């Protein structure tokens, strides 16, 4: 027997999903500050995992400062995976005159990583910091990216935002906690998923929540999702 589905248009599906998320957050007594809510809901929407209502941590003013950066135009995202890069909304980047890059597959990065005995993620962050010291640095996969960023921030790097949500078991928890502490001490905006959970999809969803908020397109209809 054919099932009857109430919601079939992308915009309607997303809106109903967000309604369900809000309802279940209330049932679970998950309370999120208003300025952080769009980010947390987007991550839960991406993962169907309400743990992010508890483990996503924000330095003070991280969202408002990030939206100000994006609103000024010309922001640059540096990701630690091409998967995260591919998940970032290209229309939103264009609307805000922003750009996004991943250096991981560049031959010069691979050669340098091999020569220096470092991971490509670490070298990618170093190169990104050299090219775009006020960029938005996004890690959804590699703890070594966060370890490198922590070191660079201690040495004076001041990114517009660091998104630290790598997933895994080795150095993941420690690198996130260190990064958050370093960013808070240096007054660098940061959004970090404490614990083992995360991933490139989570990284991209945080980027998109910020982009949609800055572009005024939280409503999917405004992103052209009505059909």
Active site residue 183: no
Q: Are the C-beta atoms of 127 and 103 separated by less than 8 Å?
A: yes
According to DSSP, the β-strands at 76-79 and 136-139 are parallel
According to DSSP, residue 223 is labeled G
**74 phi/psi in degrees, rounded to 5:** 85, 10
Alpha helices in the chain (DSSP H): 10-27, 34-47, 52-55, 62-71, 82-87, 90-95, 107-116, 120-131, 143-154, 172-186, 200-215
182's CB contacts (< 8 A; 6+ apart) are 150, 153, 154, 188
Task: Catalytic residue, from 11, 13, 15, 45: name it.
Answer: 45
Q: SS3 for 109?
A: helix
Q: In angstroms, what CA-CA distances link 182 with 64, 153, 173, 179? A: 19, 7, 14, 5
**Rounded CA gap, 206 and 39, in Å?**
6
Catalytic residues: 45
């Amino acid at each position: 027997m054919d099932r009857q589905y109430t919601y079939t248009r992308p915009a309607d599906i997303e809106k109903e999903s967000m309604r369900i998320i809000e309802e279940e957050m209330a049932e679970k007594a998950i309370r999120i500050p208003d300025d952080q809510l769009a980010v947390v809901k987007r991550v839960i929407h991406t993962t169907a995992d309400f743990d992010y209502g508890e483990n996503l941590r924000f330095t003070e003013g991280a969202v408002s400062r990030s939206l100000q950066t994006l609103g000024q135009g010309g922001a640059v995202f540096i990701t630690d995976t091409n998967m995260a890069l591919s998940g970032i909304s290209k229309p939103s980047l264009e609307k805000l005159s922003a750009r996004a890059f991943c250096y991981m597959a560049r031959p010069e990065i691979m050669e340098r990583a091999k020569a220096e005995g470092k991971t490509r993620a670490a070298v990618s962050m170093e190169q990104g910091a050299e090219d775009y010291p006020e960029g938005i640095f996004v890690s959804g996969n590699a703890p070594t990216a966060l370890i490198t960023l922590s070191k660079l921030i201690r040495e004076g790097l001041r990114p517009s935002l660091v998104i630290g949500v790598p997933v895994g078991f080795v150095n993941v928890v420690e690198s996130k906690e260190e990064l958050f502490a370093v960013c808070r001490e240096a007054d660098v905006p940061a959004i970090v998923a404490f614990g083992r959970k995360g991933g490139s999809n989570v990284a991209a969803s945080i980027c998109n929540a910020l982009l949609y908020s800055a572009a005024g397109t939280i409503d999917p209809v405004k992103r052209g999702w009505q059909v």
